[in-house]
Amino acid sequence: MQTLFALLAALMGGIAIASVVSAIRLESAPNRALADFAQNESKPDLLDRVGQRLWRYLPLDPARWGLNVEWARLAGKHYSLGRVTANALLYGGGVAVALLIAEAAPLLWLTVPAAAALPFINLRAAANEARTAAERGLPEVAALVAAELAANNPPDKALQRAADTAGVLGLILKGAMAEARSSSRPLFSRKPLKGALVVWVERWRLPSLLAFGSSLDLVAGKGVAGEAMMSRIAQGMSREYREKLLKRAEALESNLVLPSAIFFFVPFMAAVVVPVLLPLFETLRR
């Protein structure tokens, strides 16, 4: 029996090593993000294909998690639903094999679903990191667009300058301009057509980003009056972002209660309770 477990562990270890090696990409993070953003889907490898088949059986929303993958790629993270699902199988299966070999107590089997959930947690964290970066850059980009309009540059030129800024938001704006070039839509709305900018920012489902795109789309149709309007919008976005940061700072103390409790509770369980319960489980199993 232990030979079988050792073979299973070796198999999973080989798959894990193949996953790590196949994920190595010898290029800078910005270039990698641009490449993934332009291709939308990287070439699937063995793990991707296996994970894609397993994904069909999971009770998860593909639209929601697919959007998380797109956000994570904007931040330069190489994710796909297939790879995340395959990694979940590897993590959960690896922990299960280790517990079988060690003949661990039944209570420790709760770590198997936790290990399987870890790749999905990492994906959501990477996506949220990219969303936060986009929100953080909005006031600065809005001020840049306002300054470009004040210099008598047209709205499309101002948007191009804003898209040249580094980071997640710059990639999103580049995508909007690429959408306008590759489709029949104008960059800004012209009745009855909705502009490519608004259509593109809608797909990211970030309220502050949609508000920025809609405001810029409105300003583009105002002509000379758009300069003063964009300046007010930039000031308003900067004020709203500062207020949001203050609210987060005020809520920080209460948000740290649960992590602090876990930080002290888990070591207490490991150091005091588990050594007491293990002999009891051994006695009950005999």
pLDDT digits (tens, 9 = 90+) for 118-132: 999 999 999 999 999
Count H helices and E strands in the chain, helices first.
Answer: 13, 0
**For the CA atoms of the chain, what is the radius of gyration?**
25
Query: Tokens representing 31?
Result: 């270039």
Q: Which of 39-43, 115-119, 140-144, 187-191 has the lowest mean pLDDT?
A: 39-43
Cβ 219 vs Cβ 149: under 8 Å: yes
Q: Which of 9-18, 81-90, 144-153, 195-204 has the lowest mean pLDDT?
A: 9-18
Nearest to 92 by CA among 113, 122, 107: 113
More confident residue, 96 or 283: 96
Backbone angles phi, psi at 100, to 5 degrees: -65, -45
Adjacent-strand bridge partners of 193 = 190
Whether the predicted pLDDT of 268 surpasses 80? no
Residue 97: strand, helix, or coil: helix
Per-residue pLDDT averaged across 230-234, rounded? 93
Summarised one tens digit per residue, pLDDT across range 163-201 is: 998 789 999 999 999 999 998 889 999 888 899 999 999
Whether the predicted pLDDT of 162 surpasses 70? yes
Cα separation of 96 and 267, whole Å?
Answer: 22
Whether the predicted pLDDT of 52 surpasses 70? yes
Q: What is the pLDDT of residue 136?
A: 93
Nearest to 185 by CA among 81, 177, 18: 177
pTM, 2 dp: 0.76
